[in-house]
Every structure is written in structure tokens, then in C-alpha cells.
């Protein structure tokens, strides 16, 4: 049934594909950040039609499947003369899809800045660009780093969808191994374990930073736990 | 015009499968969310650890990997499941893990004073959960559950990769038959949006209804 | 109203007995060797700087915080423990629920149930803890809400009420359970100054009409002096001194008490 030898022998092949997975995640994340910031700026714009259009685009992209969007970019764009390599199409789709999530994150960060900061900037007569680069962004970014990190992990776990447009990332590699050897169990188990080994520690790290950031210590937590203790130990 | 109708009819065939998988897996995910969520709040180690294991494995290993694992590996291990069941199981387990975290955090998010007031009124732990904590936690869960349901709907498109004839699968089939790529995929995106939007509205309505009178 | 001068002078078995109570959070000892009694029907006011352990003492009685040392007895029964084969063991939930039925508490932050109407807030525990029918519970709830002057708010939700009104509902909710002792934990501290009066008025009414004992933790010195049979001054997890209000407020024995009270001096001269 399960062969350790085989499971280990295919690791080099899978780890090679993992490089593609990670590349796609990183490039996709950069695309998502840039587009996400762009949506955020547009939504703060005073031009009503632009604002409305961006809200609609964001809502639509977020409500429809990434897989279909990947097909759309890969199959439909060429009919308009835009032919992209599978990798470019993949990271564009991944980036576009998650930019609609990141724009919410950026908005949260910017909204959390007290009004007084804007007023103080006006009082100091700072230029608009200075206000953003020196006052707003330095305060808005640190609190949202854990959230950005979480989306990085989410995107990492979504990369298997790129196999549908023929990118040989880990899942595609596993499928190739499986169809050649008919040992699907080892191939997909390996891939699952690799995903878990990479994403779990990363999510722990971001949870930790999140807790560090919203560091609040509450003694009363301890007190109300007593009741639970009693319930649990004596039921 | 004829081509349009043909495309539309072809896609509608997949709609039934998508909706069926959506409904079954939402139900499975919901049940799992509460079971695993409560387990993860338990005072005993074994249920708590099993809940953590379940949550981390199903959140950590990517939905498509899980679907492929169920689809390709189980038959080799001697378990043959209908494709529909594989889809529902894969989606339900995956989103059940996410839902369990939502249940856990929402219950924990109910202010401590509520628990203390219930103890001061001498309520039993069951009564406290039922009358005081859960109704408040439920309201906290709703927006995230709304998002998760949309995520699950989008996730159903992945079952096309394990040969279930859902919307996305039909679109690919139509594409190779008609080559009307642009129309097919535009229709497809719009259909998904038309399913998603009422779900969002429905949750918003529920949230409004539930939050009557609360500041 | 009879005024007991000092609990120990009366030949009456105390209703609540704290014995050798200690409390540790981690390694820090916040309370040690406290002995403290409350008689049946006695109104005790507890004063002292914040962080002195007053609230912890009340929360221990409400079974919200477990003392790390010592025992508490109420009505002749151990609260946090029970005796098994002559040894003290931790009480189970069943025991706790039996004993704490005699205790009620009103919190600084009201802690009303935000998803229930005012009427249901007062009914819920009557139905599910006391086992009354809905009809009985509603009648009693309406009666007590009338007493605190809120019968017209029965169908409102807590968020629609002022802080003072919410705190009056919280008192109605606790009193309707007919506890033998009521704990008031700084119930006016979270209120705007102009709302304090209406809440104190309700406490005064309860104190005058009801037989129940009261432990009133408060910073309202004039009020404490007015309604209490006995005043207890706590600081740094210790009971520094206690006695009738006249004695504590007019002739405090300890320097710490004098210092503390001097901050409120304008109220007494």
C-alpha cells in the first residue's frame, strides 16, 4: 500500500515544483499589493464614477471563483490579442483576485488612524504626498502586517489552482507523478504535508505578531475560567 | 442568438450540480463548525487537541490537494466514493475547519461580564450557553459566516477538476464544442455573481434581524 | 432598623464567614489571612482605595473567583469546598449551584443581556433557574420593574436605556431571585454623576424594605454612612478597621483610615 521509499524518492521532484509555487505566491502577492493599493486610492477619490466603478469591480471579482478568473485570463485574453504565458496569467489572476481582499486590509489600516493626525498634518501645512508617506502610511502599515501575512499564506494555499492552466506547481507535479506511477496516495500526501509544514509555522508566526500588536493583558480572564474548570472536572 | 441560447442552456445544466454541492457542503461545514468549535473550547485535552489537529490539517493543506487526495487516493486505498460525495466531503471538511475557528472566536468574544452575570443568576452552564452566550456569539459569527459561504461557493468551481459536471466544468466543455470562449466565460462569471449576491444580502438581512435593539 | 455595633459582640451566628482567606495571582500575594463575617440581614459597607481587595472579596462570595487559601461558609455550608471523609475537597458544580442560589450580585458594568428585552432580562433566570412558569415570572418581573420605576421600559432593549436605568434593571434582575445576601460592586462608579442618585435611591429602598443582607462596595461615603449597619475599611488586601459608621467616619483609629477619609473630608464637616 503505502511505500515510504516512493514517498521519499519523489520529494526532489516535488520540492523543485515547490519553487514554482513559492515564486507564484511572491509575484502574485506583489501584484495584489500594488492593485490593492490602487483600489484603495480610487475608493478614496472624490470622483464619484471612479469610486463607484472600483467598488463594483472589487465586489464582482471577490464574488466569483479564482479558477474561472484564471480561465478567463488564460483563454479569453488571447482573443483580444493579449497572450500571456501560463505563469504571467496565473500570477495576474491570483494577484487580481486577492487585491480585492487586500484593499479591505489597507482601508482598515487607514481608517484606524485618528482624525487628529490628519488635522495635525494640515496644521503643519504638509504636502499631500508628505502626509501619506510620512504620517499616514508609517502608522497604518504596522498594525496590518499580520493581516497581510495571513493573506500571503492564503494565496500560497491557492496556488494549486494554477495547475488548471498548466503551470507545473506542486499539485500538477504530483498529478504527473501519480499518472506515471499510479501512486497517487504518496504523491498527494507528500504535497499536503509540504503545504502544512510551510503554512502552519507561518500562520503561528503571524498569530504571535498579532497578539504582540494587540497586547492586552486581562486578569479577569482567569477568574471566570474557574467556573469552567468546575464544570469540566466534575461533570 | 442560437449560439447564445445553446451556451446558456449548457451552463444551466451545470448550475444544478453547483447548487446541490453548495447546499450539501454548507450544511456539512456548518455542523462541523459547531462540533469542532465546541470541542476546541473543551476543558479536556483530547477533544481540544483533536479539534486543533482537524483545524490545522484542513486549513493548512489547501482545498485542491484535499479534493485530489480524496478523488485519486481513496480508490487506491480501496474506498470508492461517488464524485459528488468527494466534492461535498472535501468542501465540507475544509470550510468546516475555517468555520470551527469562527465559532470558537465568536464564543470567546462575548464579554466576560455576560458569563459572570449568568453565574450570579445561578444559571447552569447549559442554560448560560443557550440563553446568554450563543445568541450573542451567533450575531458575531454572521458576517464571517457570510464571507465563508461565498468562499465555499467559489470553492465549488474546484470540483470541476475532479470531473463533476458543475458550472465551470460545463463551461470548459462548451468552450471546446463551440469555441465561443468570451461569451461562455462572461456568462459563467455573471452566473456565479448572481448566486453570490443573494447570499450576501440574505446574511445582511439576518444580521439586521438578529441585532434588533442592540445599540 | 437595628444597628449592630460589632458583629462579634452579638451572640449571633454569622450568616457568612470568611476564614483565613488568601489570594494569589501567580506569585503575587494580594490577600492574606482575612477573617470576616456578615450577619443575617446586616448591611455592610466596604470602603477603601481601589486595588485593596474589596471587589475580590465580593467576587469570591459570588463564586466568580476562587480563594487560593481558606474557606468561606454561607448559611452553615461551605461555599468553595465540601467535606468528604473529614477532608476538604473542592466543591463540584452541583454543590456550587446549590449554595450560590442564596447570593445575588449587581456589577459595576450592569452586565444586562443585550439581546433580551428588559422584561426578559428579569424573567430568564426565574424561569430557568427557579423553575417558575412564564406567567408567574412575568408578573413578578413587572412588579419589581414597577418598583424601580421602569415598568414603561419592559419592551425596550438595554442599549436603549441610560446607564442609571440599566443599573436599576440589573438590581431588579438580582432582587427578583430573592437572594439572602446581595453584593453591590461599585454599582455607581460607571455612571454619569447626575445618574448616581436614582440608583442609590433604589438601593436605599431595597435596604429598608428587605430582610436580605447586603455587602455594599462603594465610594459614596455619605451613602455608606447613611444606610450601613457596619463599615469596613480595606487597604492592601487587609481589613484595617471596622465598626459602626459613626465610629469609622468620625473617630477612625488607624492612620490609613484617616488618610483615606481625609480625601472625602468635605462631605463630613
What residues does each domain of chain B span? 2-210
Nearest to C96 among A222, A223, A230 (CB): A230
**pLDDT value at residue C6:** 52
Contact C64 A223 (CB under 8 A): yes
Q: Chain B residues with CB inside 8 Å of C100's CB?
A: 119, 122
Q: Chain B residues with CB inside 8 Å of C124's CB?
A: 121, 131
Q: Chain B residues with CB inside 8 Å of C129's CB?
A: 121-124, 127
Question: What is the rounded average pLDDT of the residues B87-116?
Answer: 96
C55 touches A: beta carbon within 8 Å: no
* Distance between B70 CA and the closest CA of chain A, angstroms: 9
Res. A208 pLDDT band, cuts 50 70 90: confident
Digitized pLDDT (tens) for each residue of chain C, 269 residues in all: 344 445 455 567 899 999 999 999 888 888 999 999 999 999 999 999 988 999 999 999 999 999 999 999 999 999 999 888 888 899 999 999 999 999 999 999 999 999 999 999 999 999 999 999 999 999 999 999 999 999 999 999 999 999 999 999 999 999 999 999 999 999 999 999 999 999 999 999 999 888 899 999 999 999 999 999 999 999 999 999 999 999 999 999 999 999 999 887 655 54
Please state which of the ranges A192-206, A216-230, B59-73, B96-110 shows the lowest mean pLDDT.
A216-230
Q: How many CB atoms lie within 10 A of CB B171?
A: 26
Residues 11-40 of B with CB under 8 A from A: none
Question: What is the rounded average pLDDT of the residues A30-51?
Answer: 95
CA dist., res. B66 & res. B54, Å (int): 13
Neighbours of chain B (3+ CB pairs under 8 A): A, C
Question: What is the rounded average pLDDT of the residues A166-190?
Answer: 93
In CATH terms, is domain B2-210 a member of 3.60.20.10? no
Residues 66-105 of B with CB under 8 A from A: 66, 68-69, 72-73, 76-77
- What grid cell was written down for A208? 504571535
Domain membership flag for residue A160: yes
Domain membership flag for residue A2: no
Chain A residue nearest residue C59, CA to CA: A223
Question: What is the rounded average pLDDT of the residues A95-121?
Answer: 94
Chain B residue nearest residue C125, CA to CA: B121
- Compute CA A4 distance to the chain's CA centroid, rounded to the nearest angstrom: 33
Contact B125 A231 (CB under 8 A): yes
Res. A90 pLDDT band, cuts 50 70 90: very high
Nearest to C115 among B117, B127, B135 (CB): B135
Question: What is the rounded average pLDDT of the residues B149-169?
Answer: 95
**pLDDT value at residue B1:** 54
Higher pLDDT residue, A91 or A133?
A91
State the average pLDDT for chain A.
88
- Indicate whether B5 pLDDT > 90: no
- Indicate whether A219 pLDDT > 70: no
Q: Chain A residues with CB inside 8 Å of B56's CB?
A: 196, 200
CA dist., res. A209 & res. A152, Å (int): 15
To probe the interface with B, which of A104, A178, A192 has the most B CB atoms within 10 Å?
A: A192
* Distance between B35 CA and the closest CA of chain A, angstroms: 17
Question: What is the rounded average pLDDT of the residues A100-120?
Answer: 93
DSSP-derived secondary structure for chain B = -HHHHHHHHHHHHHHHHHHHHHHHHHHHHHHHHHHHHHHHT-SSHHHHHHHHHHHHHHHHS-HHHHHHIIIIIHHHTT----HHHHHHHHHHHHHHHHHHHHHHHHHHHS-HHHHHHHHHTT--HHHIIIIIIHHHHHHHHHHHHHHHHHHHHHHGGGGGGGT---HHHHHHHHHHHH--HHHHHHHHHHHHHHHHHHHHHHHHHHHHHHTTT--
Asked whether C268 and C226 are in contact (CB, 8 A), the reply is no
Chain C residue nearest residue A218, CA to CA: C25
Please state which of the ranges B20-24, B197-201, C85-89, C110-114 shows the lowest mean pLDDT.
C85-89
Asked whether C164 and C191 are in contact (CB, 8 A), the reply is yes
Chain C residue nearest residue A231, CA to CA: C93
Chain B residue nearest residue C184, CA to CA: B120
Residue-wise pLDDT tens digits, A124-158 = 999 988 998 899 988 888 889 989 999 999 999 99
| Residues of chain B above pLDDT 90, percent | 83
Task: Decide the pairing of beta strands C103-106 and C43-47.
Answer: unpaired
Q: Which ipTM was obtained for this model?
A: 0.92
| Residues of chain A above pLDDT 90, percent | 75
**pLDDT value at residue B60:** 92
Domain membership flag for residue A3: no
Domain membership flag for residue A1: no
Q: Which CATH class is domain C12-267?
A: alpha beta
Of the candidates B145, B120, B142, B118, the residue with the CA atom closest to the CA atom of residue B131: B118
Contact B196 A199 (CB under 8 A): no
Asked whether B69 and A170 are in contact (CB, 8 A), the reply is no
Task: Decide the pairing of beta strands C181-185 and C103-106.
Answer: parallel
Half-sphere exposure of residue C93, counting CA atoms within 13 Å on the CB side? Answer: 16
**pLDDT value at residue B212:** 80
A221 touches C: beta carbon within 8 Å: no
**pLDDT value at residue A215:** 55
Nearest to C107 among B117, B132, B213 (CB): B117
Give the domain CATH number at A92.
1.10.3720.10
DSSP-derived secondary structure for chain A = ---HHHHHHTHHHHHHHHHHHHHHHHHHHHHHHHHHHHHHHHHT-S-HHHHHHHHHHHHHHHHS-HHHHHHIIIIIGGGGT----HHHHHHHHHHHHHHHHHHHHHHHHHHTS-HHHHHHHHHTT--HHHIIIIIIHHHHHHHHHHHHHHHHHHHHHHGGGGGGGT--SHHHHHHHHHHHHS-HHHHHHHHHHHHHHHHHHHHHHHHHHHHHHT----THHHHHHHHHHHHHHH-
Contact A223 C96 (CB under 8 A): no
Nearest to C109 among B113, B120, B213 (CB): B113
CA dist., res. C215 & res. C42, Å (int): 8
- Indicate whether A101 pLDDT > 90: yes
**pLDDT value at residue A218:** 35
The angle formed by the CA atoms of residues B152, B157 and B161, to the nearest 5 degrees, is: 130
Nearest to B116 among C64, C93, C174 (CB): C64
* Distance between B73 CA and the closest CA of chain A, angstroms: 5
* Distance between C41 CA and the closest CA of chain B, angstroms: 19
| Residue A234 backbone dihedrals phi, psi, to 5 degrees | -115, 0
* Distance between A221 CA and the closest CA of chain C, angstroms: 10
- Indicate whether A29 pLDDT > 70: yes
A223 touches C: beta carbon within 8 Å: yes
Tell me which residue range forms the domain holding A79: 8-234
Question: What is the rounded average pLDDT of the residues B59-84?
Answer: 91
Q: How many CB atoms lie within 10 A of CB A208?
A: 11
CA dist., res. C234 & res. B162, Å (int): 71
Domain membership flag for residue A223: yes
Res. A180 pLDDT band, cuts 50 70 90: very high
Domain tally, chain A: 1
CA dist., res. B66 & res. B70, Å (int): 6
Q: How many CB atoms lie within 10 A of CB C214?
A: 22
- What grid cell was written down for C78? 461551605
Residue A5 CB-density burial (10 A; 0-12 exposed, 13-18 middle, 19+ buried): exposed
CA dist., res. C128 & res. B124, Å (int): 9
Contact A67 B158 (CB under 8 A): yes
To probe the interface with A, which of B58, B101, B154, B163 has the most A CB atoms within 10 Å?
A: B154
Question: What is the rounded average pLDDT of the residues B118-144?
Answer: 96
To probe the interface with B, which of C96, C107, C125, C132 has the most B CB atoms within 10 Å?
A: C125
Question: What is the rounded average pLDDT of the residues B6-33?
Answer: 95
Amino acid at each position: 500500500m503505502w511505500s515510504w521509499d516512493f514517498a521519499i524518492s519523489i520529494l526532489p521532484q516535488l520540492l523543485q515544483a515547490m519553487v514554482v509555487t513559492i515564486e507564484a505566491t511572491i509575484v502574485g502577492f506583489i501584484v495584489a499589493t500594488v492593485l490593492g493599493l490602487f483600489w484603495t486610492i480610487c475608493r478614496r477619490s472624490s470622483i464619484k464614477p471612479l469610486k463607484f466603478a472600483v467598488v463594483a469591480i472589487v465586489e464582482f471579482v471577490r464574488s466569483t471563483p479564482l479558477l474561472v478568473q484564471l480561465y478567463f485570463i488564460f483563454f479569453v485574453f488571447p482573443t483580444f490579442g493579449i497572450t500571456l504565458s501560463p505563469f504571467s496569467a496565473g500570477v495576474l489572476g491570483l494577484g487580481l483576485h486577492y487585491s480585492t481582499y487586500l484593499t479591505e486590509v489597507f482601508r482598515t489600516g487607514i481608517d484606524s488612524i485618528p482624525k487628529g493626525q490628519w488635522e495635525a498634518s494640515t496644521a503643519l501645512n504638509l504636502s499631500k504626498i508628505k502626509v501619506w508617506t510620512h504620517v499616514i502610511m508609517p502608522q497604518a502599515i504596522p498594525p496590518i502586517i499580520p493581516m497581510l501575512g495571513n493573506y500571503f499564506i492564503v494565496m500560497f494555499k491557492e496556488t494549486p489552482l494554477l495547475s488548471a492552466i498548466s503551470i507545473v506547481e506542486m499539485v500538477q507535479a504530483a498529478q504527473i507523478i501519480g499518472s506515471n506511477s499510479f501512486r497517487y496516495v504518496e504523491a498527494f500526501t507528500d504535497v499536503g504535508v509540504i503545504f502544512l509544514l510551510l503554512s502552519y509555522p507561518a500562520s503561528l508566526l503571524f498569530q504571535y505578531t498579532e497578539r504582540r500588536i494587540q497586547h492586552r493583558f486581562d486578569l479577569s480572564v482567569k477568574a471566570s475560567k474557574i467556573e469552567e474548570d468546575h464544570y469540566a472536572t466534575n461533570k | 442568438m442560437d449560439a447564445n441560447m445553446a451556451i446558456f442552456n449548457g451552463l444551466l445544466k451545470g448550475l444544478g450540480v453547483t447548487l446541490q454541492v453548495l447546499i450539501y457542503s454548507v450544511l456539512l461545514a456548518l455542523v462541523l463548525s459547531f462540533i469542532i468549535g465546541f470541542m476546541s473550547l473543551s476543558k479536556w485535552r483530547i477533544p481540544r487537541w483533536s479539534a486543533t489537529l482537524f483545524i490545522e490539517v484542513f486549513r493548512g493543506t489547501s482545498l485542491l490537494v484535499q479534493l485530489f487526495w480524496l478523488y485519486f487516493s481513496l480508490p487506491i486505498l480501496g474506498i470508492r466514493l461517488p464524485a459528488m460525495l468527494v466534492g461535498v466531503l472535501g468542501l465540507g471538511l475544509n470550510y468546516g475547519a475555517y468555520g470551527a475557528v469562527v465559532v470558537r472566536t465568536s464564543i470567546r468574544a462575548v464579554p466576560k461580564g455576560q458569563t459572570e452575570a449568568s453565574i450570579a443568576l445561578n444559571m447552569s452552564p447549559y442554560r448560560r450557553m443557550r440563553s446568554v452566550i450563543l445568541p450573542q456569539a451567533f450575531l458575531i459569527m454572521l458576517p464571517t459566516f457570510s464571507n465563508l459561504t461565498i468562499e465555499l461557493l467559489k470553492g465549488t468551481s474546484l470540483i470541476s477538476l475532479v470531473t463533476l459536471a458543475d458550472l465551470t466544468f460545463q463551461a470548459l466543455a462548451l468552450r471546446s464544442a463551440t469555441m465561443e470562449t468570451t461569451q461562455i466565460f462572461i456568462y459563467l462569471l455573471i452566473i456565479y455573481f448572481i448566486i453570490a449576491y443573494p447570499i450576501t444580502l440574505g446574511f445582511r438581512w439576518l444580521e439586521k434581524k438578529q441585532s434588533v435593539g442592540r445599540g | 432598623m437595628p444597628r449592630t455595633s460589632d458583629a462579634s459582640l452579638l451572640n449571633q451566628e454569622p450568616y457568612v464567614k470568611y476564614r483565613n482567606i488568601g489570594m494569589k495571582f501567580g506569585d503575587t500575594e494580594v490577600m492574606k489571612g482575612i477573617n470576616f463575617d456578615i450577619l443575617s440581614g446586616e448591611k455592610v459597607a466596604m470602603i477603601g482605595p481601589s486595588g485593596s481587595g474589596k471587589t475580590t472579596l465580593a467576587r469570591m462570595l459570588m463564586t466568580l473567583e476562587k480563594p487560593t487559601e481558606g474557606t468561606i461558609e454561607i448559611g452553615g455550608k461551605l461555599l468553595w469546598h465540601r467535606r468528604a471523609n473529614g477532608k476538604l475537597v473542592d466543591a463540584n458544580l452541583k454543590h456550587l449551584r446549590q449554595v450560590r442560589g442564596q447570593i445575588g450580585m449587581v456589577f459595576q458594568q450592569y452586565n444586562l443581556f443585550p439581546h433580551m428585552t428588559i422584561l426578559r432580562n428579569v424573567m430568564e433566570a426565574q424561569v430557568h433557574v427557579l423553575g417558575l412558569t412564564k406567567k408567574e415570572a412575568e408578573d413578578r418581573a413587572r412588579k419589581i420593574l414597577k418598583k424601580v420605576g421602569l415598568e414603561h421600559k419592559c419592551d425596550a432593549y438595554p442599549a436603549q436605556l441610560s446607564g442609571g436605568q440599566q443599573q436599576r434593571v440589573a438590581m431588579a434582575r438580582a432582587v427578583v431571585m430573592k437572594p439572602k445576601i446581595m453584593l453591590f460592586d461599585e454599582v455607581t462608579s460607571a455612571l454619569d454623576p447626575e445618574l448616581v442618585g436614582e440608583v442609590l435611591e433604589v438601593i436605599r429602598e431595597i435596604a429598608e424594605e428587605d430582610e436580605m443582607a447586603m455587602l455594599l462596595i462603594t465610594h459614596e461615603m455619605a451613602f455608606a454612612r447613611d444606610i450601613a449597619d457596619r463599615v469596613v475599611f480595606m487597604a492592601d488586601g487587609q481589613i484595617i478597621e471596622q465598626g459602626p459608621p459613626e465610629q469609622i467616619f468620625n473617630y477612625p483609629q488607624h492612620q490609613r483610615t484617616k488618610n483615606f477619609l481625609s480625601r472625602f473630608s468635605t462631605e463630613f464637616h
